[in-house]
Chain A
């Protein structure tokens, strides 16, 4: 048996041991490859997509690659951790550290090679599915057909062979020769129960509390300035939370005999306190990675709603047309005939908007009858303005829109010399298009207003039937009528979604990759302790442990592992999204809740699956 054969056999005959590491490596390759298939798709690389999208794809690919590097490095080191004893045995047999390094390097390259090939093959299987999903999410007109992604294959293969080479080299180089006795005793040796430093524990509370307070209090541009310091402070706080505060809490719980000595609590918490030091780093990483995923997806989703809702908010009508030039009759005839051609029915109103210089700017003053027609069109209440009165109407007061106070003491003098006074109660309606507010006066007073500064023709349509054909009709209209005059909400929203979709898709993709790998970190953490747990439960079961009790302990143990970092990440994410909402002055609550609940749901499914298999594994030895 040559040395190379030895390394080879080590891998092929210890399939179970290497399986977890192999599978996670393969998964990583698959993720990268699927992304590459998508990014290099002919339909996307052509002139269909702008160059900024291509660049975005490249950057995203880079992010996934860098992340893969750290993910594989982490999997690798936790895998080597579980093989300490084996290395000790080999050293006793007379193997030099140099040979062990070579062995680790060879093994790693072997696993890396097969993981790369396997990942690419698996990726090809899923390629059709991912392209179909992309097609739906992306709002692409032409189909994303399946193709043989030569470029993606070559790119993935070369990138990951290099990646595995570098990692193998790195890992085998840093493989330090610990004391032989330590290696041989392996995991049997106890590191003792970790203790918490009281000052660091307090510091953890202060850092997280302080970071949160600042994040919740700052507004507007302040969010931007405070962002980096808060992120750093909260990150350090989170690290201390897991390494110190959690240990502190568990120790406090253990001191309470009535709690600790109750039923299965002793089995659960004694282990927890010993494992906390190892868990802490994983928890920290998982919490941070998940927070990034939540915040990124939440931001993208929130930003999309921000853009589309904004347009919907200022455009209550299906179509509007505003112009001051002579082409308008022609344009309006075309719009009306297109609506007819598309078999749609629409209510239409038109008027002339008159602008008067008031409060240092041009403000629309409309007469009561005009206002009421337009208010009815969008379903708002009619109003009655008495003579000598002005009703001030705010265009909107949702957070998204800017509002400006009006000076209610201002009066308007009519040509007849009478003055109009503003009514104290300001109402809100989007019947007429204005930036901040506009005035409505009685029809009689309106005649005496004098010459306006400016006049614009305004027409609005509210489609009542055939709403599903609105976008098609709007596209036809915009071919002839300048979008400078003509506005269709639905078309605008559709176009934003279309332009935004690639960003959204890439964001979702990366977010999900981050999140799934966070789950994998936890899985690794759990499986590193599998053998210890097997031994432990074997010992306890001889004494007598019902399967209900076993299930309870394992469920709780896995739940703590899966949900502690998730809950921390959820709170971090919620705070981050809240801060973001404060920056844009737009309420992201609905979007945040959707994003966070979807992730929680995925994590619960993940938990149920992992718990099932873990319990099954433990039960095998009983």
Chain B
């Protein structure tokens, strides 16, 4: 992978991760990855390949054993713990498989939560929440509680929360993992349009080839090592087929992937 210097939003350089314990376990080995500003990259691989470990390291939740992670040219792992929390809140956006919405808050309150922690003015928060709700088509559920909405709506709300502070990098961990195929398509379409319109850099970790086909580029890892990467051409359909093919080469023994799913 070639570093594109100024253009790179994320640079992962020679990152390895070893979990110490009774039995030391090597989760990642010499991973290099560069994501340009405005790029939408998918990470795929079988269970236990190290996808989530990689994501956690980029998300600054976990630290690499060797190597470094640069976000927008800075190494967040050098920050003190509290500054790190603020860095996450201001520079990164997160979307999770289990939505991670607080059920005691309404959708609107969930969305503005990162801003309230920063002490943003109420007027500005209301305005921003309104804008993003309109953009993501969730205006009519803003006053509802999270237990009153569907999974698809919940994930949209989670995306809205991740986007409200206009993060430099949006990280999505299996965002379609808990959704049916219709909702999955909605959410992925939404992420794609955010990426295209707002030029938000995105990284997606997924099992789902359908979801991965919305990316510009998909990187495959296996046993903690880089395996291959493929770029999307003009057609998403072709790209989807290419992903399926790579996956079948990637591992004969895993049943994680559906053979065909259109």
Evaluate contact between B87 and A544: CB separation under 8 angstroms.
Answer: yes
User: Are A263 and B114 CB-contacts (below 8 A) given A543-B88, A546-B85, A547-B81?
Assistant: no
Evaluate contact between A544 and B116: CB separation under 8 angstroms.
Answer: no
**For chain A, what secondary structure do more than half of its interface residues adopt (helix, strand, loop), or is it mixed?**
helix
Q: A506-559: which have CB < 8 Å to B?
A: 536, 539-549
- What are 10 A-B interface contacts by the 8 Å CB criterion? A189-B147, A193-B104, A261-B122, A263-B119, A270-B105, A541-B85, A543-B113, A543-B114, A544-B88, A548-B82
A-chain residues with CB within 8 Å of residue B103 when the two chains form the complex: 190
B-chain residues with CB within 8 Å of residue A190 when the two chains form the complex: 103-104, 145, 147
Q: B62-119: which have CB < 8 Å to A?
A: 81-82, 84-90, 92, 94, 96, 100-105, 109, 112-114, 116-117, 119
Closest to B99 in A: A539
A-chain residues with CB within 8 Å of residue B82 when the two chains form the complex: 546-548
Q: How distant is B74 from chain A, measured CB to nearest CB, in Å? A: 15
Evaluate contact between B104 and A271: CB separation under 8 angstroms.
Answer: yes
Q: Is A258 an interface residue (CB 8 A)?
A: yes
CA gap between A549 and B90 in the complex, in Å: 15
Q: A116-148: which have CB < 8 Å to B?
A: none
Q: Is A463 an interface residue (CB 8 A)?
A: no
Q: How many residues of A sit at the interface, in one of the four size bands?
A: 20 to 34
Closest to B115 in A: A261
CA gap between A114 and B85 in the complex, in Å: 45
Closest to B59 in A: A542
Evaluate contact between A549 and B94: CB separation under 8 angstroms.
Answer: no
CA gap between A546 and B80 in the complex, in Å: 10
Complex A-B, nearest 9 residue pairs according to Cβ-Cβ distance, in ascending order: A544-B89, A544-B88, A539-B100, A270-B104, A546-B82, A546-B85, A544-B85, A190-B147, A274-B104
One digit per residue, 1 when the CB lies within 8 angstroms of any chain A CB and 0 when it does not, for chain B 139-162 equals 000000101000000000000010
Q: Is A257 an interface residue (CB 8 A)?
A: yes
Partner of B85, one of A189, A273, A536, A545: A545
Closest to A190 in B: B147
**For chain B, what secondary structure do more than half of its interface residues adopt (helix, strand, loop), or is it mixed?**
helix
Q: Is A176 an interface residue (CB 8 A)?
A: no
A-chain residues with CB within 8 Å of residue B230 when the two chains form the complex: none
Evaluate contact between A257 and B113: CB separation under 8 angstroms.
Answer: no
Q: B127-147: which have CB < 8 Å to A?
A: 145, 147
CA gap between A273 and B106 in the complex, in Å: 13
B-chain residues with CB within 8 Å of residue A262 when the two chains form the complex: 116, 119
CA gap between A266 and B161 in the complex, in Å: 15
A-chain residues with CB within 8 Å of residue B7 when the two chains form the complex: none
Evaluate contact between A544 and B114: CB separation under 8 angstroms.
Answer: yes
In this complex, which of A189, A258, A544, A549 has the most chain B Cβ atoms within 10 angstroms of its Cβ? A544
Q: Is B125 an interface residue (CB 8 A)?
A: yes
Evaluate contact between A543 and B105: CB separation under 8 angstroms.
Answer: no
Evaluate contact between B117 and A257: CB separation under 8 angstroms.
Answer: no
Closest to B103 in A: A190
Partner of A542, one of B86, B94, B125, B145: B94
Partner of A261, one of B90, B96, B112, B161: B112
Evaluate contact between B102 and A545: CB separation under 8 angstroms.
Answer: no
Evaluate contact between A270 and B109: CB separation under 8 angstroms.
Answer: yes
Number of A-B residue pairs having CB atoms within 8 Å of each other in the complex: 82
Q: Is B18 an interface residue (CB 8 A)?
A: no
Q: How distant is A53 from chain B, measured CB to nearest CB, in Å? A: 54
B-chain residues with CB within 8 Å of residue A544 when the two chains form the complex: 84-90, 92, 114, 117
Evaluate contact between B147 and A266: CB separation under 8 angstroms.
Answer: no
CA gap between A542 and B102 in the complex, in Å: 13
Evaluate contact between A543 and B94: CB separation under 8 angstroms.
Answer: yes
A-chain residues with CB within 8 Å of residue B88 when the two chains form the complex: 542-544
Closest to B90 in A: A544
Closest to A266 in B: B116
Q: Is A103 an interface residue (CB 8 A)?
A: no
B-chain residues with CB within 8 Å of residue A541 when the two chains form the complex: 85
Q: How distant is A461 from chain B, measured CB to nearest CB, in Å? A: 72
A-chain residues with CB within 8 Å of residue B87 when the two chains form the complex: 544
CA gap between A543 and B94 in the complex, in Å: 7
CA gap between A267 and B109 in the complex, in Å: 10
One digit per residue, 1 when the CB lies within 8 angstroms of any chain B CB and 0 when it does not, for chain A 593-604 equals 000000000000
User: Are A542 and B61 CB-contacts (below 8 A) given A266-B109, A548-B82, A549-B117?
Assistant: yes
One digit per residue, 1 when the CB lies within 8 angstroms of any chain B CB and 0 when it does not, for chain A 226-243 equals 000000000000000000
CA gap between A265 and B113 in the complex, in Å: 10
B-chain residues with CB within 8 Å of residue A549 when the two chains form the complex: 85, 117
CA gap between A193 and B82 in the complex, in Å: 33
Given contacts A193-B145, A257-B122, A543-B94, 7 further A-B contacts (CB under 8 A): A190-B104, A263-B119, A542-B88, A543-B161, A544-B84, A546-B86, A547-B81
Evaluate contact between B119 and A539: CB separation under 8 angstroms.
Answer: no
Q: Is A264 an interface residue (CB 8 A)?
A: yes
Q: How distant is A499 from chain B, measured CB to nearest CB, in Å? A: 57
One digit per residue, 1 when the CB lies within 8 angstroms of any chain B CB and 0 when it does not, for chain A 166-182 equals 00000000000000000
B-chain residues with CB within 8 Å of residue A540 when the two chains form the complex: 102, 113
Closest to B105 in A: A270
Evaluate contact between A273 and B104: CB separation under 8 angstroms.
Answer: yes
Evaluate contact between A543 and B112: CB separation under 8 angstroms.
Answer: no
A-chain residues with CB within 8 Å of residue B92 when the two chains form the complex: 544
Evaluate contact between B85 and A266: CB separation under 8 angstroms.
Answer: no
Q: How distant is B88 from chain A, measured CB to nearest CB, in Å? A: 3
In this complex, which of B81, B96, B109, B125 has the most chain A Cβ atoms within 10 angstroms of its Cβ? B109
Evaluate contact between B102 and A539: CB separation under 8 angstroms.
Answer: yes
CA gap between A189 and B103 in the complex, in Å: 10
Partner of B105, one of A192, A263, A266: A266
In this complex, which of B59, B117, B125 has the most chain A Cβ atoms within 10 angstroms of its Cβ? B117
A-chain residues with CB within 8 Å of residue B119 when the two chains form the complex: 262-263
A-chain residues with CB within 8 Å of residue B125 when the two chains form the complex: 261
CA gap between A265 and B115 in the complex, in Å: 12
Closest to B56 in A: A542
CA gap between A543 and B100 in the complex, in Å: 10
B-chain residues with CB within 8 Å of residue A274 when the two chains form the complex: 104
Partner of A545, one of B96, B100, B117: B117
A-chain residues with CB within 8 Å of residue B61 when the two chains form the complex: 542
CA gap between A161 and B161 in the complex, in Å: 55
User: Are A261 and B102 CB-contacts (below 8 A) given A190-B145, A542-B61?
Assistant: no
Q: How distant is A279 from chain B, measured CB to nearest CB, in Å? A: 14
User: Are A542 and B100 CB-contacts (below 8 A) given A270-B109, A547-B82?
Assistant: yes
CA gap between A273 and B61 in the complex, in Å: 30
CA gap between A549 and B89 in the complex, in Å: 13
User: Are A264 and B122 CB-contacts (below 8 A) given A190-B103, A545-B85, A547-B81?
Assistant: no
Partner of A258, one of B86, B102, B122: B122
One digit per residue, 1 when the CB lies within 8 angstroms of any chain B CB and 0 when it does not, for chain A 248-263 equals 0000000001100111
One digit per residue, 1 when the CB lies within 8 angstroms of any chain B CB and 0 when it does not, for chain A 82-105 equals 000000000000000000000000
CA gap between A544 and B89 in the complex, in Å: 5
A-chain residues with CB within 8 Å of residue B122 when the two chains form the complex: 257-258, 261
Closest to B91 in A: A544
Q: How distant is A81 from chain B, measured CB to nearest CB, in Å? A: 18
Q: How distant is B255 from chain A, measured CB to nearest CB, in Å? A: 25
B-chain residues with CB within 8 Å of residue A546 when the two chains form the complex: 81-82, 85-86
A-chain residues with CB within 8 Å of residue B104 when the two chains form the complex: 190, 193, 270-271, 273-274
